[in-house]
Structure 1
Amino acid sequence: MRIEWTDKFRAGVEKFDSQHKGLIELINELQRIISVGGGSKELEKVVTEIYEHKKNHFADEERLMLDHNYPEFEQHAKEHREMLDWLSRHRENLAAGDKMATVELSGYLSDWLMNHVAKTDMQYGQFFNDRGVY
């Protein structure tokens, strides 16, 4: 099922909102490839793009959090590390031909949007906005 950008994903920091939109596009592309029975090379390519996108996005978020002494930094960064570790393991499983890894990836990423982006990231929006970061 295609994911659409809505205000529930808007954290209020334009750079991060733009990056979240990019993640949604990548998840939709992953789901499209799965639905048409795309090949493993195509799947590996989009999963690598998702991994790199998240790695860069997390670095941006964490840099801003440190710059502004965000009080929930440690927990937030821990969630980022856990996600990158999870993605890395599933990239390896996918490369080894594990078809279930693809389905698990799609579900995990959709859950990440609903639980981390739409909830956890919302907590930093007001914090940064109060400090003049939009």
Structure 2
Amino acid sequence: MLISWNEHFTLGIDAIDNGHGLTIEAINQLNEVDTPEDNRRVAAFMLPLLRQQFAMQFEIESRLLASHPDDLRIQHEGEHRRMTEVLDYLAQSLAGGSDISAMLLLNLVCFLVSHLRGSDTDTYAARCAHPCAA
């Protein structure tokens, strides 16, 4: 296991925490496979789940971000758009027969570090000084 879920990932907003958990699960599954066939299978399984989760999560976050300053909201939503574009591109590549597993893993790790542990934490941690449900 490359990354273990722990309380430091918890922001107390269920939709966001669920997205963080799924991202970590996808990273670990993609990291643990060792054959090209398993790479393709795991990527093909995880990609639609990630796209569905992020679509729902980003919609909820847009509502939460409405009360934040414009510059923060614009930057945060821009990061969401870029990740959505990456996942759309990977879905097209997968449909074309490409092995997207390495690219999906790389993008998820980068998103985890820069957005989920960076922007989301900066934006929402102040909202919940301790875990709370949304």
Alignment TM class, shorter chain as reference? 0.7 to 0.9
1:115 aligns with 2:118: no
- Structure 1 distance, partners of 2:39, 2:110, is 24
1:18 aligns with 2:14: no
Alignment of 1:70-89 (within 5 A): 70-71=68-69, 72-89=72-89
One-letter identity of the residue aligned with 1:121: D
Q: Give the superposition deviation at 1:14.
A: 4.5
Q: Give the superposition deviation at 1:42.
A: 5.0
Q: Give the superposition deviation at 1:61.
A: 1.2
Query: Which sections of structure 1, spanning at least 5 residues, go unmatched?
Result: none
Equivalent pairs: percent with the same residue? 25
Query: Which sections of structure 2, spanning at least 5 residues, go unmatched?
Result: none
Q: Give the superposition deviation at 1:45.
A: 2.6
One-letter identity of the residue aligned with 1:20: H
Q: Give the superposition deviation at 1:60.
A: 1.3
How large is the Cα RMSD of the aligned pairs? 2.4
Is this contact kept in 1: 2:40–2:101, CA < 8 A? no
Alignment of 1:17-56 (within 5 A): 17-32=17-32, 34-36=33-35, 37-38=37-38, 40=40, 42-56=42-56
Larger mean Cα displacement after TM superposition, 46-55 or 2-11: 2-11
Q: Which residue of 1 aligns with 2:123?
A: 124
Q: Give the superposition deviation at 1:8.
A: 4.0
Q: Give the superposition deviation at 1:128.
A: 2.2
- Structure 1 distance, partners of 2:109, 2:103, is 10
Is this contact kept in 2: 1:2–1:28, CA < 8 A? yes
Relative to structure 1, the CA distance from residue 19 to residue 39 in structure 2 (aligned partners, 3 Å threshold; closer, same or farther) is closer
Is this contact kept in 1: 2:39–2:101, CA < 8 A? no
TM-score by length of 1: 0.79
TM-score by length of 2: 0.79
Q: Which residue of 2 aligns with 1:102?
A: 101
- Structure 2 distance, partners of 1:18, 1:93, is 26
- Structure 2 distance, partners of 1:31, 1:56, is 25
